[in-house]
Amino acid sequence: MTAILERWETSGDGRAVFLTTWARCTDSVLAAVQNGRLADAAWVLTLLDNLAAYYFITIEPDDDDLRRVTPPAWRAAHDAAASRDATAHEALILGVNAAINNDLPQAVCDALLAEWPLNNTRLERRHQDLCIVLDIVATAIDPAGGAVVDCGPRTLRAAEARARADCSRHIAHLVNAWSDEVWENAIALVTSADERWRDVIRDTVEHTALRRAHLVMCDITARSHLLELPAHRLDYVFPVRHEPLSCRVPARLPQWGGAAPAATS
């Protein structure tokens, strides 16, 4: 991660905005592991490895076409990082959305399946460790937790510094809003009847992450409120029709009951 970040910072790659923040979050979780804050350090380390693997498959190798293995939420995040039409805040929130809503439930599922079945006591211990990890991530992002997200130039005027702090606080708030859903989706994946049903649930998880990417990048009424909704409510109220000219996510917009029209940037 460090080598990739150094390379991106040197080349001015916009993806460094997310990776800088995510590296900070990872370091904070590792510090908590070393300090004995987690109930099962080995399980948390496995979870971090699984989560990193889901991310790295979307960026490595550099010279390969990774679109077929890159989930739509990550494609939106990477496209925004490379676009002049997206702000650093938008690129960052898209990356956090993809990591938390798309990758983390699947990474938790993988970690649980490796030791399944679990009794209720051990399962609840895993749940509590995940809650602590998400709390650490939110605290690392939120300036009140001692870290400030780099959403702009290093030399900032006071107004820009406040905007950067607001950016961090907003994303940390969303991480907290999404945290319960991560565990619910992971358990749904683990307890699915077979691989076919697991694929259906995985598609649902990825579709919700893409819907949230659209909320970040499209001109949709009440999008701030919609962005915080749990998946089952978001799927019900999500405005599947919106003006193509106001949409900056090229991926098809998922909707139930038929083919989705292609969104153009």
From first to last of its 265 residues, the chain has per-residue pLDDT tens of 889 999 999 999 999 999 999 999 999 999 999 999 999 999 999 999 999 999 999 998 776 778 788 999 999 999 999 998 899 999 999 999 999 999 999 999 999 999 999 999 999 999 999 999 999 999 999 755 444 445 555 544 555 556 667 788 899 999 999 999 999 999 999 999 999 999 999 999 999 999 999 999 988 778 888 899 998 888 777 765 666 666 788 776 655 444 444 444 4
Structure confidence at residue 149 (pLDDT): 47
The pTM of the full predicted model, rounded to 2 decimals, is 0.87
Structure confidence at residue 147 (pLDDT): 41
- 111 in Cβ contact with 188 (< 8 Å): no
Structure confidence at residue 129 (pLDDT): 98
